[in-house]
Amino acid sequence: MGSVAPSSKDQSRMMDSAHGDKQHAEKVKKLVENMRGFHNAMLTTRRADSGLRTRPMAVAHVDDNGDVWFAMSCDSSKCSDIEFDPHVSVSFQSSSSFISISGKAIINKDRQKIDEFYTHAWDAFFPKGKESPELCLLRVEAQTAEIWDNTLTTKITMWMEAGMNMLKRGATDEAGPHSPKSARRGSLGETATDGTSSHKIHGAHEKINIK
């Protein structure tokens, strides 16, 4: 007997699945491209006392699947934190883009991998270079990612603020540029003291399940 041809409903499901897989792959590719634009990140680990610790780390490499690599000393507190709880968070930040990665940290002592990623910028931390016995790599196996892109919003806000500033200057020139009524811009997520809106992190937000 010949094989039964899939029904139109089954064909529609297969097409939807293939389309979804393609969209997911495109999202991960875009995520990786953005991550590769950062040279530093913040790594958060959980200590044995259940407290959290966050420290800056130089990014060694970002894999095509979103995994992030760092160099570190096997004698550091990061190692003991990861041995206690391998679940970590990695965050990247610029003036208009924010990325948060959640995943599992894996310590890697493969000397070939160390040789592949090693850069002389690490010499300051490892006097014996790539041969330093304490040198190891940390791979964060990315599981989920969240992205905030404030690029367009920031530009629009700046244009709006520029227009407001021009209008307010006309009404407050006699008071001088340092008058409390002068238009000023606040910090991220705040409102300036004169009531005008500041640069808020309210741009496009997306969550991606990587694995």
Indicate if 141 and 195 belong to the same structural domain.
no
Indicate if 94 and 130 belong to the same structural domain.
yes
Q: Is 156 within the bounds of a domain?
A: yes
Q: Could you read off the pLDDT of 186-199 as tens digits, one per residue?
A: 333 433 334 433 34
**CATH classification of the domain holding 69:** 2.30.110.10
Indicate if 48 and 67 belong to the same structural domain.
yes
Indicate if 44 and 143 belong to the same structural domain.
yes
Residue 89 CA to residue 105 CA, distance in Å, equals 9
Residue 129 CA to residue 159 CA, distance in Å, equals 49
Q: What is the domain range of residue 176?
A: 152-203
| 165 CB burial (10 A radius; 0-12, 13-18, 19+) | middle
Residue 181 CA to residue 184 CA, distance in Å, equals 9
Residue 51 CA to residue 61 CA, distance in Å, equals 28
Average pLDDT over residues 34-56: 95
Domain count, the chain: 2
Indicate if 122 and 177 belong to the same structural domain.
no
Indicate if 142 and 168 belong to the same structural domain.
no
Indicate if 81 and 185 belong to the same structural domain.
no
Q: Is 58 within the bounds of a domain?
A: yes
Indicate if 92 and 172 belong to the same structural domain.
no
Indicate if 40 and 133 belong to the same structural domain.
yes
Indicate if 182 and 197 belong to the same structural domain.
yes
Q: Could you read off the pLDDT of 110-155 as tens digits, one per residue?
A: 999 999 999 999 999 999 999 999 999 999 999 999 998 876 544 4
Q: Could you read off the pLDDT of 47-84 as tens digits, one per residue?
A: 999 899 999 999 999 999 999 999 999 999 999 999 99
Residue 162 CA to residue 168 CA, distance in Å, equals 10
Indicate if 132 and 170 belong to the same structural domain.
no
